[in-house]
Amino acid sequence: MPAQWTAALIGEMHLARVTAKQLAEEAGMNKCYLSQVLNSDTKPKGTEEKLRAALGRITERRKEDA
């Protein structure tokens, strides 16, 4: 079963209109690896923080550009 934080992150991505490809690129990950992390019980250390930070950077840039 996927970790609870992955569901919350996917919801945040949806609300911010951030694609998996965009998040993967910002986090320096392969899109397939991101999918594996979000949809399985793979729990690499520090990944949650890395992905949340990447999502935050994307949303901040969008605010600045608006």
Write down the number of H helices and E strands in the chain: 4, 0
Run means of pLDDT, 10 residues per run, the chain, 66 residues:
87 97 97 91 86 98 90
Phi-psi bin for 28: left (phi > 0), alpha (psi -120 to 50), beta? left
Q: All domains of the chain, ordered by start, with CATH?
A: 4-65 (1.10.260)
Q: What pTM was computed for the model? A: 0.89
Tokens 């949303």, located at residue: 59
Residue type, 38: L
